[in-house]
Amino acid sequence: MTKILIVLAVLLAAGVAAAVWLRVRAGRDVSATIPCTAKVPGKVAIAYYSQSKVQNTALVAKWIQKHVGGDLIAIEPTEPYPEPYFRTLATATLERKSGKKRPIKPTPSLAAYDVVFLGTPIWYGTYAFPVELFLKDNPLAGKTVVPFSTHGGGGAPLYERDVKAACPAAKVLPGFTARGSNQVERRLGTGVTAHHTEDDVVRWLNGIFGE
Ligand SMILES: Cc1cc2nc3c(=O)[nH]c(=O)nc-3n(C[C@H](O)[C@H](O)[C@H](O)COP(=O)(O)O)c2cc1C
């Protein structure tokens, strides 16, 4: 009898976990519920790096494109960082200590763009290494730069400060950050999930480019 109860309890817990997971996954596809009034002046690029298999930052990049248009430009290391999370972290920590960060693939010229949205997963409180290297190649002088990011719970405390330092001749607008995935969620394959996150993106776009 006890065994049957234990099996039933385990099945119930698994069912609840599966339902939560499916709901969380579905949340990635829920559309914004508020209208976007943002009109971005000039030609727009959305340059971003997204590392984890969940692709949190890529999702925010696509939401930005959906609402204000523009060209997506993926920033990619020549060799991807390894998954799962503990291997990514171990590899990135070694590169951080040694200062030997893996190079990135060449990206298209940004000469024709006026506004560059710049997206990154937050690593150690700031931009991930591929974005750091991207800014070394592209200091974005004379452009309007709009930072956005996803993080695992620690926010983006140094990202905007570091973008301003790396792009001294750019106009840097107030950025956006969303809770992406923490270690556990990365293992479960979940990320920027709450259905209100796309609304948060729209609210932010309206705030900086709204008419
Ligand atoms: C090397 C590394 C460092 C990280 N550092 C932080 C951090 O300082 N603060 C934080 O909140 N999340 C941190 N994270 C978690 C990521 O920012 C988070 O999972 C993000 O949403 C991943 O985005 P992506 O799916 O676009 O790669 C780190 C992740 C990695 C792999």
**Domain layout of the chain by residue ranges:** 31-209
Is any atom of ligand 1 closer than 6 Å to the C-beta of 86?
no
Is any atom of ligand 1 closer than 6 Å to the C-beta of 52?
yes
> Along the 211 residues of the chain, how does pLDDT read in single tens digits?
777 777 777 676 666 555 555 545 544 556 788 999 999 999 999 999 999 988 999 999 999 999 999 999 999 999 999 998 999 999 999 999 999 999 999 999 999 999 999 999 999 999 999 999 999 999 999 999 999 999 999 999 999 999 999 999 999 999 999 998 877 777 777 778 655 689 999 999 999 999 7
Fold of 31-209: Rossmann fold (3.40.50)
What three-state secondary structure class fits 19? helix
Ligand 1 atom nearest to 151, measured from its CA: 17
For residue 84, say if its preceding peptide bond is cis, omega within 30 degrees of 0: yes
User: Rounded distance, CA 182 to CA 85, Å?
Assistant: 9
User: Rounded distance, CA 116 to CA 37, Å?
Assistant: 19
Q: What is the pTM of this model?
A: 0.88
Ligand 1 atom nearest to 92, measured from its CA: 1
